[in-house]
DNA sequence: CTTCCACGGGAACACTGGGGTG
DNA sequence: CACCCCAGTGTTCCCGTGGAAG
């Protein structure tokens, strides 16, 4: 039977020596029981939230810090401890974690919260105030203390901070329950374009998470590695190297953990018994390539066209301006019969590519010759070309040449 | 000091996919 | 069922503005 043969394959793979004891602890989503170098933040947050255990609503908190500085981990960790304490004391304490990168609109956030408290809200269709009412009634139906953690809160506030306004002053509309908000953001300027009233109530307390330095990241990696790996599979240099790489990336611990995990996975796949520096370097490349591939692949067609123009120009010169990109872009669109967007829109698309780390775009002033963005490719051109070619609509570009009237410069 | 180009914020619009109402 | 309401998204249109070359 074929299944017999197949199960044999799996069996062999399963019996193959693994370097891992527990791979999960290396995932950044894993919340460990102890967070090295974050004692101060944990204590601070706990001291703010402790009033929940006395039946009061704690102050709202804003947490700032770059990616991979442990904001989410600390918030989740303290939240869980708090919930456990609440349970032990028989308090109706609810800690609700919402990632605003996924739940990224007012409507969806309120619908999510309402659903949490057992209300049925359709995915779309209702006026927002009605969803808000639904949530309020659901929450207020009995005595409760709710702590809402809004991760990546900047992604939500981008348009309309109405929800935040409503949520932050919600306590005055509640008879039985109390609500507090913990906002997490990596955008230090986040509060700038926020309604002043929201700003003051949301930021009653503020916590700053500084980036980790290389030695701190080393501690984190050591702690996790102990749980994750079998004895002696790591070369001594592996953890310092991972830490050094991550420290360059503004002390991103998540990055370091990914790097360590992927290094080990690569080693394992090649059947090596130990993880070495070489694996780390391979992993570093792999992460970068995977990131670019993933980003480019999921780009909408118009962005791909803009990127294709940039790639085309990169083959000819080092850097170029928005105007040049737009001229090439327009011709490409005509060439394959796609809609041509306005230059205004294209500048936005370029900025998005910049934010995604695929291109570099800096605004410069060329004096007499006006202001423009100077753009250059910042990821591997080969990788991007390869992925762009996967798109059947862009395949037709293979015969593309810019017409002579595209006098570049 | 003038001049010039594109930046980037904001308003307005079209369109989509959903809901409620009579 | 027809019809209107709503949020969300991607886009266009309009326009004030930055800042170094000339």
Task: Quote the tokens at residue A287.
Answer: 């992460």
A175 exposed, middle or buried (CB, 10 Å; 0-12, 13-18, 19+)?
A: exposed
Q: How far is the CA of A373 from the C1' of C15 (A)?
A: 19
A203 in the same domain as A250: no
CATH number of the domain bearing residue A78? 3.40.50.300
pLDDT for A332 equals 93
Strand B close to A319 by CB, under 7 A: no
Nearest nt (C1') to A374 (CA)?
B6
| Residue range A80-86: mean pLDDT, rounded | 95
User: How many whole angstroms separate alpha carbon A89 and alpha carbon A84?
Assistant: 9
Query: How far, in Å, CA of A26 to CA of A257, rounded?
Result: 6
Please indicate, yes or no, if residue A106 is contained in any of the structural domains: yes
Q: Is the CB of A372 under 7 A from strand B?
A: yes
Q: Is the pLDDT of residue A254 over 70?
A: yes
Contact A107, A124 (CB under 8 A): yes
Angle in degrees, 0-180, between the axes of helices A277-297 and A238-248, rounded to the nearest 10: 40
Checking if the pLDDT of A407 tops 50, the result is: no
Last-in-domain residue among A156, A186, A209: A209
The C1' atom of C13 and the CA atom of A343 lie apart, in whole Å, by 12
Domain that holds residue A230: 213-295
Are A199 and A62 within one domain?
Answer: yes
Question: Quick check: A214 pLDDT over 90?
Answer: yes
> Does residue A373 lie in a domain region?
yes
The answer to whether the CB of A329 falls within 8 A of the CB of A346 is yes
Using the 3D structure, point to which of A295, A317, A348 is the last residue of a domain. Answer: A295
The CA radius of gyration of chain A, in Å to the nearest whole number, is: 26
Q: HEC states along chain A?
A: CHHHHHHHHHHHHHHCCCCECCHHHHCCCCCCCCCCCCHHHHHHHHHHHHHHHHCCCCCCEEEEECCCCCHHHHHHHHHHHHHHHHHHHCCCEEEEEEECCCCCCHHHHHHHHHHHCCCCCCCCCCCHHHHHHHHHHHHHCCCCEEEEEEECHHHHHCCCCHHHHHHHCHHHHCCCCEEEEEEEECCCCCCCCCCHHHHHHHCCEEEEECCCCHHHHHHHHHHHHHHHECCCCECCCHHHHHHHHHHHCCCCHHHHHHHHHHHHHHHHHCCCCCECHHHHHHHHHHHHHHHHHHHHHCCCHHHHHHHHHHHHHHCCCCCEEHHHHHHHHHHHHHHHCCCCCCHHHHHHHHHHHHHCCCEEEEEEECHHHCEEEEEEECCCHHHHHHHHCCCHHHHHHHHCCCCCCCCCC
Residue A404: per-residue pLDDT: 52
Q: Decide if A199 is inside a domain.
A: yes
In this structure, how many other beta carbons lie within 10 angstroms of the beta carbon of residue A382? 10
pLDDT one-digit tens code per residue, A333-375: 999 999 999 999 999 999 999 999 999 999 999 888 889 999 9
pLDDT > 70? residue A405: no
Q: How many Å from the CA of A124 to C1' of B17? A: 8
Nucleotide nearest to A322 (CA to C1'): B6
Percent of chain A's residues with pLDDT above 70 = 96
Q: How far is the CA of A350 from the C1' of C17 (A)?
A: 20
**Which nucleotides on chain C have any atom < 7 A from a protein Cβ?**
5-15, 17-22
Q: Are residues A278 and A169 in the same domain?
A: no
Q: Look at residue A52 and tell me whether its pLDDT is greater than 80.
A: yes
Q: Measured from the CB, is A381 under 7 Å from any atom of strand B?
A: no
Q: Is residue A29 part of a domain?
A: no
pLDDT in tens, A64-74: 999 999 999 99
Examine the domain organization and report whether A90 and A173 are in the same domain: yes
If asked whether residues A149 and A287 sit together in one domain, one would say: no
Provide the CATH number for the domain around residue A242.
1.10.8.60
Pick the more confident residue, A376 or A2. Answer: A376
| Mean pLDDT score, A376-391 | 93
Residues A317, A188 within the same domain: no
Rounded to whole angstroms, the Cα distance separating A243 from A85 reads 35
Q: pLDDT for A309-337, tens place per residue?
A: 999 999 988 889 999 999 999 999 999 99
Q: Which nucleotide is nearest to A106 (CA to C1')?
A: C7
Compute CA A153 distance to the chain's CA centroid, rounded to the nearest angstrom. Answer: 11
Covered bases, chain B (protein CB within 7 Å)? 3-10, 17-20
Q: Is residue A331 part of a domain?
A: yes
pLDDT at position A158 is 62
Do A374 and A237 lie in a common domain? Answer: no
Q: Which two tokens stand for residue A155?
A: 């992604």
Q: Round and report the angstrom distance from CA (A369) to C1' (C17).
A: 15
Kindly state whether residue A13 falls inside one of the protein's structural domains. Answer: no
Q: Could you check: is the Cβ of residue A401 within 7 Å of any atom of nucleic acid strand B?
A: no
For the cut 70, the answer to whether the pLDDT of residue A408 exceeds it is no
Pairing of strands A359-365, A371-377: antiparallel
Query: Which region holds residue A339: left if phi is over 0, alpha if psi is between -120 and 50, else beta?
Result: beta
Say which residue the tokens 């910049």 belong to. Answer: A354
* Total domains present in chain A: 3
Give me the mean pLDDT over the A143-159 stretch: 87
Q: Is the pLDDT of residue A87 over 60?
A: yes
The pLDDT-based confidence of A200 (bands split at 50, 70, 90) is confident
Are A65 and A198 within one domain?
A: yes
For B4, which residue's CA is nearest its C1'?
A370
How many other CB atoms are there within 10 angstroms of residue A3's CB atom? 7
Looking only at the bridges linking them, the beta strands covering A371-377 and A320-321 are antiparallel
Return the CATH number at A338: 1.10.10.10
In a domain, A381, yes or no: yes
Judge whether residue A276 has pLDDT over 70.
yes
CA distances A205 to A81, A138, A140, A180, Å, are 20, 27, 25, 11
Check whether A279 has a pLDDT greater than 50.
yes
The Cα–Cα gap between A89 and A68 comes to 33
C-alpha–C-alpha distance, residues A34 and A256, integer Å: 17
Q: Do A169 and A303 share a structural domain?
A: no
> Which of A256, A273, A295 is a domain's end point?
A295
pLDDT digits (tens, 9 = 90+) for A3-46: 667 778 777 777 667 888 888 999 988 888 899 999 999 999 99
Measure the CA–CA gap between A243 and A370, rounded to whole angstroms: 43
Instruction: Indicate if A88 and A180 belong to the same structural domain.
Output: yes
Same domain, A203 and A126: yes
Chain A 93-122 contacts with nucleic strand B (CB below 7 A):
122
Q: Which nucleotide's C1' is closest to A129 (Cα)?
A: C6
CA angle A212, A214, A220 (to 5 degrees): 70
**A121 and A54 both lie in a single domain:** yes
Closest to A392 in 3D by CA, of A338, A334, A346? A338
Q: How confident is the model at residue A175 (pLDDT cuts 50, 70, 90)?
A: very high
- The reply to whether A159 has its C-beta less than 7 Å from any atom of strand B is no
A393 in any annotated domain: yes
């Amino acid at each position: 039977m074929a299944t017999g043969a197949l199960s044999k394959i799996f069996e062999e793979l399963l019996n193959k020596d693994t370097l891992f004891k527990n791979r999960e602890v290396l995932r950044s989503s894993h919340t460990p029981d102890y967070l090295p170098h974050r004692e101060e933040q944990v204590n601070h947050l706990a001291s703010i939230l402790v009033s929940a255990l006395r039946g009061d609503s704690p102050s709202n908190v804003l947490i700032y810090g770059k990616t991979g500085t442990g904001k989410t981990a600390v918030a989740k960790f303290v939240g869980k401890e708090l919930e456990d304490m609440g349970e032990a004391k028989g308090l109706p304490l609810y800690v609700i974690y919402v990632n605003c990168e996924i739940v990224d609109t007012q409507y969806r956030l309120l619908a999510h919260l309402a659903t949490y408290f057992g209300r049925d809200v359709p995915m779309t269709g209702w006026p927002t105030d009605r969803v808000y009412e639904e949530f309020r009634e659901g929450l207020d139906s009995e005595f409760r203390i709710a702590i809402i953690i809004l991760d990546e809160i900047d992604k939500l506030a981008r348009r309309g901070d109405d929800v935040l306004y409503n949520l932050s002053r919600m306590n005055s509309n509640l008879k039985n329950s109390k609500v507090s908000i913990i906002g997490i953001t990596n955008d230090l300027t986040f509060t700038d374009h926020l309604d002043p009233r929201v700003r003051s109530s949301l930021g009653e307390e503020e916590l700053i998470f500084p980036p980790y330095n290389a030695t701190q990241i080393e501690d984190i990696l050591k702690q996790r590695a102990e749980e994750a790996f079998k004895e002696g599979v790591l070369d001594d240099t592996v953890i310092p190297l991972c830490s050094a790489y991550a420290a360059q990336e503004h002390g991103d611990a998540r990055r370091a953990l990914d790097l360590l995990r992927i290094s080990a996975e690569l080693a394992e796949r090649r059947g090596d018994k130990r993880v070495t520096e070489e694996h780390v370097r391979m992993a570093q490349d792999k992460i970068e390539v995977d990131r670019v591939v993933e980003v480019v692949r999921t780009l909408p067609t118009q962005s791909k066209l803009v990127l294709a123009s940039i790639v085309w120009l990169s083959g000819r010169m080092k850097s170029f301006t928005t105007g040049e990109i737009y001229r090439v872009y327009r011709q490409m669109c005509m060439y394959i019969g796609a809609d041509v967007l306005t230059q205004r829109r294209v500048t936005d698309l370029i900025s998005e590519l910049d934010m995604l780390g695929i291109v570099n775009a800096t605004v410069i002033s060329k004096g007499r010759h006006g202001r423009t963005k100077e753009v250059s490719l910042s990821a591997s051109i080969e990788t991007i070309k390869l992925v762009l070619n996967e798109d059947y609509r862009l395949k037709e570009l293979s015969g593309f040449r810019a017409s002579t009237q595209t006098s570049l410069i």
